[in-house]
């Protein structure tokens, strides 16, 4: 894995994510059709995922010690009509364009999926990349990084409809561990742009974002005592 002083490619970023979650078996669940608007808050298809493109969705349950939490790792890959429900692939086999870590309310229909255990807050080099909030709405906050890493956009979904639910700074790791995280990875291949185009903030069906105020008390990503930010 590259050090923080060298450039981290898309392939290396995917490899880092696979290593972090210990390369789980991912189960194909369903296709996601184009949706100009999200069906409702807390849905797996959130307002930050409104998109004119079709996706194929893989999922795995993530172990949680708290009964109230229902954690899932979700990968969206370019639409593949040949997939059969229940198809299983290693995370490392999937060229995922969008990764979600989610604590779902509508979790019951996914309880049949295998459960993956891993060690939270592992120090994977590329996932220690600092991130900064660039804009925020009542639905989510958008983060990016100006460090030497493949360009990405990261959304943290708001559960309290507040503009300041999270810290303005963190790392990829601390964002993943909120389990309200949507990570958009862009493809470097020009041929794939029509398939892997990631919705920009301006195209989303959400209130007009505003720049967040700096928070001197650092309202950290939930459970601040455990976060490396």
pLDDT digits (tens, 9 = 90+) for 158-174: 998 888 899 999 999 99
Determine the Cα–Cα distance for residues 67 and 50; give it in Å rounded to an integer.
Answer: 30
Residue 88 belongs to a domain: yes
Q: Give the model's confidence band at 147: pLDDT under 50 very low, under 70 low, under 90 confident, else very high.
A: confident
| Residue 93 pLDDT > 70 | yes
Taking the model in full, what pTM does it have?
A: 0.75
**Is residue 142 a contact partner of residue 133, using CB atoms and an 8 Å limit?**
yes
| Residue 111 pLDDT > 90 | yes
* pLDDT score at 164: 84
Residue 1 belongs to a domain: no
Residue located via tokens 């795995």: 60
Determine the Cα–Cα distance for residues 172 and 12; give it in Å rounded to an integer.
Answer: 14
Residue 3 belongs to a domain: no
* pLDDT score at 204: 30
Residue 19 belongs to a domain: yes
Residue 5 belongs to a domain: no
Q: Count how many domains the chain has.
A: 1
Residue 167 belongs to a domain: yes
| Residue 156 pLDDT > 50 | yes
pLDDT digits (tens, 9 = 90+) for 170-187: 999 999 999 999 999 964
Residue 154 belongs to a domain: yes
Alpha carbon of 96 to those of 74, 75, 135, 139, 164: distances in Å? 10, 6, 25, 24, 29
Q: Considering only CA atoms, which of 36, 92, 69 is closest in space to residue 180?
A: 69
Residue 210 belongs to a domain: yes
Residue 52 sits in which domain range? 10-226
pLDDT averaged over the chain? 77
Angle at 129 between CA 13 and CA 158, to 5 degrees: 95
Determine the Cα–Cα distance for residues 11 and 94; give it in Å rounded to an integer.
Answer: 11
Determine the Cα–Cα distance for residues 7 and 135; give it in Å rounded to an integer.
Answer: 25
pLDDT digits (tens, 9 = 90+) for 178-216: 999 999 996 433 333 333 333 332 233 333 333 333 332
Q: Give the model's confidence band at 32: pLDDT under 50 very low, under 70 low, under 90 confident, else very high.
A: confident
């Amino acid at each position: 894995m590259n050090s923080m002083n060298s450039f981290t490619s898309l392939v290396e970023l995917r490899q880092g994510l696979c290593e972090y979650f210990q390369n789980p078996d991912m189960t194909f669940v369903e296709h996601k059709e184009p949706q100009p608007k999200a069906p409702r808050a807390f849905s797996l298809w959130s307002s930050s995922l409104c998109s004119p493109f079709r996706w194929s969705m893989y999922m795995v349950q993530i172990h949680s010690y708290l009964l109230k939490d229902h954690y899932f790792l979700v990968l969206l890959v370019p639409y593949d009509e040949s997939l059969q429900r229940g198809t299983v692939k290693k995370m490392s086999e999937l060229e995922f364009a969008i990764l979600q870590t989610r604590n779902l309310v509508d979790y019951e229909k996914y309880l049949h999926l295998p459960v993956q255990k891993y060690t939270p807050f592992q120090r994977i080099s590329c996932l220690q990349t600092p991130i900064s909030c660039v804009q925020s709405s009542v639905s989510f906050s958008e983060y990016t990084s100006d460090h030497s890493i493949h360009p990405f956009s990261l959304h943290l979904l708001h559960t309290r409809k507040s503009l300041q639910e999270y810290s303005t700074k963190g790392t990829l790791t601390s964002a993943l561990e909120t389990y309200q995280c949507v990570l958009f990875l862009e493809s470097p291949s020009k041929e794939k742009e029509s398939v892997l185009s990631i919705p920009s903030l301006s195209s989303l069906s959400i209130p007009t974002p505003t720049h967040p105020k700096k928070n001197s008390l650092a309202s950290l990503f939930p459970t601040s005592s455990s976060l490396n930010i």
